[in-house]
Structure 1
Amino acid sequence: MRALRPSALRAAARRPTRGALVKDVLLYAALALPAATGMMSPPRPGQASWPPPANCAAPPPPPASSS
């Protein structure tokens, strides 16, 4: 096993480039915006009362019977 040189360690621990940071921010915004807007919008009549992220884990409620 070869010993790592300090320059190799510095290169591995270097800050990400500006382009990588911009891509990360855009990806985060694209994934977070739909969930955030869904939680901020008022619920429609008959819509479940839990926020959208819970809809991913829980099945939808059964339809109300009209008897």
Structure 2
Amino acid sequence: MYKVLETGGQLTQKDLIRETSLPSRKVRYALNRLKDEQFLIERHYFIDARQSLYGLITRKPEVIAV
């Protein structure tokens, strides 16, 4: 799921199901796991208010001082 979002940008749950060919339950589970681990951002999909757009949170790499 992470790789699909990484290459596909922001997608709806229906788009993710289509892209991965996974059942909707597995897609929801993966989205919840990514959201719990703070890798995922969920936004309103204004074209269809019943859906949400999912995308990855872009993080800057942490710099470690030596």
TM-score (norm 2): 0.30
Q: Which has the higher strand share?
A: 2
Larger radius of gyration: 1
Q: Which has the higher helix share?
A: 1
Higher relative CO (Cα under 8 Å, sequence separation at least 6) belongs to 2
TM-score (norm 1): 0.30
